[in-house]
Amino acid sequence: MKHLLFILSALCPLLSASGAPPNIVIIYADDLGYGDLGCYGHPTIRTPNIDRMAAEGMRFTQFYSAAEVCTPSRAALLTGRYPIRNGMCHDQFRVLRRVSTGGLPHEEVTLAELLKEKGYTTGIVGKWHLGVWSNDPKHHPMQHGFDVHFGLPHSNDMDPSADNPKLANALADQKAEYWNAPLYRGMELVEKQADQTTLTRRYTEEAVKFITTNKARPFFLYFPHTFPHTPLFASKDFKGRSPRGLYGDVVEELDWSVGRVLDTLRETGLAENTVVFFSSDNGPWLLMGETGGSAGLLREGKGSTWEGGMRVPGIAWWPGKIQSWSVCQDVACTMDLFTTFAKLGGAQVPQDREIDGKDITPLLLGSGKVERDVFCYYRGQQLYAARLGPWKAHFITRSSYGPDKPVAHEVPELYNVDEDPSEARNVADKNPEVIAQIKASVEKHRASVKEAPSQLVGSMEAR
């Protein structure tokens, strides 16, 4: 009897008073940098709703995307696996394009599929980017476990309109009519050229509708925004308001959207039985200049395996479960959300394949640590760097999108990213034993990887 009471007491923090599993919401920004939010130190972009979310929950300071660009990072989040395992990466092509025929393999098990099996209603609102269903219907989100869908199949710059000038001018001018952003509801094409100035508002309306419609049953909402990926568009209510210019306008509207979601959960009485996680798919697109974001004190941005390319904001909110004003300095990543939320939803994590995500419930609830061996930084199909504890070794270095070639290091560059998050001081010569430990961990990881054929072959080069 004592053992039964102990088990029940351990489970109680994860259940509502009714004993129901928690609702789950993942809000995923596109190209939002580590330094783009008020609670992460931006001096002029106003994000009161996200800041309040962090104050009422937990802010991670060392949270990572599993890839440095869109497609592989999204595949990793939804499957809990490094993209090298399922072919959702490529050295040359980087991301799926409008013309791509590949997509997330059906052999992969998504978080939506696991939760749906446990009685969850599942919905996606926003950008998919894991296969273009107009090229092959099997790549639609509703073929990967989602009951409800509203959004774009890929990034908002991948289908230039007939009057689009050269790319550089189109991105600089930021005119909505330059882009065909096809908006779908399920398999139905709602608009071939969506008004991108209304996308954040319309996405938010759909997210709120999904929550209110399904408030009587457990639900999983995956809410991957289109912005602040360039080209940038803000509604008339936000355009011209931010001291940071158009980029700030877009992020402040994104903040409004987060506020509407959290307010809806409060108003419907669902807040204490809903865990919400906010993050970004990769670092900021520094190549875009003033229409790109900031990695703060971190080095480089989107497209690179320096910290600025893959360390991103990570904020968890679960009133009554996650301690308010919590700051977690432990390493965690988007792949962990797959494992954590599957278990919170009562699902069995697949046992027939390698799952790289860890269950970070102990971190969220402040009840313990999480054992983690090595975190690997891939660029395409190549492992560029690896982190073990506070130490990060770079085996190959390259800038985000510059003309430079990759440089392989016979002696890896080594940084203590706890002490030196800007990766400014290479201390390899003083720590050969650390490099040896990281190399051993990387070899153990490599031994577990059976590289899958790339699904991105045939895509155009990513910008």
Residues identified as active-site: 70, 129
Q: Give the whole-angstrom CA distance, residue 272 versus residue 450.
A: 41
End-to-end CA distance of the chain: 61
Question: Degrees (nearest 5) of the Cα angle 227, 229, 231?
Answer: 105
- Rg (the chain; Cα; Å): 21
**Contact yes or no for 246/261 (Cβ under 8 A):** no
Q: Give the whole-angstrom CA distance, residue 439 versus residue 312.
A: 25
List the strands of the sheet with 391-397, edge to edge.
375-379, 382-388, 391-397, 407-416
Q: Give the whole-angstrom CA distance, residue 329 versus residue 457.
A: 38
Biggest CA pair distance of the chain? 73
**Contact yes or no for 56/258 (Cβ under 8 A):** no
Q: Give the whole-angstrom CA distance, residue 378 versus residue 442.
A: 12
Q: Which residues contact 83 (CB under 8 A, 6 or more apart)?
A: 66, 67, 71, 72, 73, 75, 76, 89, 378
